[in-house]
Amino acid sequence: MPAALITVLSGATLVVGTVRKAQLHADLMRQFVELERQLEIGRSTPSKALITQITDERLAIEATEPQVLKVLDTLCHNKLLRATDSSGFLATPVCAVL
């Protein structure tokens, strides 16, 4: 009985967490699309002030993003290079390989 309860609660947590991440992704995408729209509007005459404003807004959006999993990025990068027989491998921390 306790195992079934734990399984049900774990499943519910997984679903709720996935929904939250999907909502965060949609919100971030919407913010970046709005930023792109501003870039397109000022495309004909991009002033230094506009570039500074858009850079500031981009950094503000990036500050609300979840943390980047750098070890995962490195592992994926190296696997891609292995798959394409390329060079340029990145050093992977020992703790990530274990």
Task: Quote the pLDDT of residue 98.
Answer: 44
Q: Which residue has the higher pLDDT, 60 or 1?
A: 60
Place of tokens 């501003």: 38
Cα-Cα-Cα-Cα dihedral sign, residues 12, 14, 15, 19: positive
What is the full DSSP assignment across 27-60?
A: HHHHHHHHHHHHHHHTSSS--HHHHHHHHHHHHH
Residue 32 makes CB contacts below 8 A (sequence gap 6+) with 58, 61
Mean pLDDT, rounded, for 6-30: 80
Q: What are the pLDDT digits (tens) for 29-78?
A: 999 999 999 888 877 787 888 889 989 999 999 998 888 778 888 888 88
Task: Quote the pLDDT of residue 60.
Answer: 94
Residue 4 has pLDDT above 80, yes or no: no
Q: Which residue has the higher pLDDT, 67 or 90?
A: 67
